[in-house]
Amino acid sequence: MSRTLVGIVTFGLSQFTREAIHSVKDTVKNSYDIFAVVGKPNDSATVALLNNENVPFTVHNQNMGFPASLNDIYDYAWQENEYDYLVIMGNDVIAYPYAIDRLIDEADRSDFVWIGATQYPIQSLIKDFPECKQFFATHRYTITDFSHKCWKKFKGYNREPGKVLNQRSDVHNLCLYKKDVFDAIGYIDVNFFPAYFEDNDYATRGKRAALKMCKITNSYYFHFWSRTLHQGSGGSTGKFFGLNSRFYQKKWGGAVNKETYSLPFNGKLHPLAGNIKLPASINIQSRNDELAIINYWSRLGS
């Protein structure tokens, strides 16, 4: 029987994390474990939640950013343990019934190594069920009362069978990876601090490595839509967003979906700062310069 780890990165907003964890515990029939990274320093609420839910976790004492937090999960899955599959799940995501099981089942029976689910976003929920709009305030869809659980009105996950599409549809909201992915392209690039464009970079690297990817059309998750940015105190700022966008274009010779390089930096070693030199490789297998890179971008964006 395959072993699956569900990895969740948090940055405050413990109530959302609680809903995410419960959606896994309430729906998944296959064997799995959960591991979390508490990315916001002094986040006692999330620590208490994870202890109460018996979920193992690690805590960051400074804001290391989303990519480094994901890399902690990679290490837990494949350096410290030997899981067959890793499911990366956003902490502002609700896994609908069958969602994770269908990812695992597809992984068991196929040679796809990158298997994405299908998003049902908050905007679609309000369009399909206008009565739900009352529970979300302003254009940012702020929610403070979770008791109504309006997202449960969606029943489209019952559709069976679904289709397996030979395309990449997701990266970090609800997506399963086999270890082949890590072997081929390695860690998330922490140059995309604290968040945004790291998913585009990882997808581009996966495409350059010719990894076999698919999307499952009956594996559904509800997405509250970037809560750390729109409702919390974490996430990227406009300045960091701009820095990350420009770095992505420098790395790949163009904006998202307009990349021109087959290798990062067009195959040339890229001097970042001081003794930090970024290799022209799609495969990042070392975390040696990670903290120095994070501190560089943190200072630049502050």
Query: What CATH number does the domain containing 27 carry?
Result: 3.90.550.10
At 105 the three-state DSSP class reads: helix
| 258 falls within a domain | no
| 257 falls within a domain | no
Tokens 């990350």 map to which residue? 244
Tokens 């975390």 map to which residue? 287
CB atoms within 10 A of CB 281: 15
Q: How much helix, strand and coil, in percent to the nearest 5, is found in the chain? A: 40, 20, 40
- The C-alpha atoms of residue 93 and residue 150 are separated, in whole angstroms, by 14
> Which token pair is 56?
């193992």
| 259 falls within a domain | no
Beta strand 85-90 pairing with 4-10: parallel
| 147 falls within a domain | yes
* 36 phi/psi in degrees, rounded to 5: -130, 155
pLDDT digits (tens, 9 = 90+) for 123-142: 999 999 999 998 888 777 78
**Nearest partner of 249 among 260, 238, 237, 262, judged by Cα:** 260
> Which token pair is 190?
């922490």
pLDDT digits (tens, 9 = 90+) for 217-248: 999 999 987 645 544 555 567 788 999 999 99
Average pLDDT over residues 157-178: 84
The count of structural domains within the chain is 1
- Please report which helix (H) or strand (E) contains residue 118, including its range: strand 114-121
**Structural domain boundaries, residue 126:** 4-233
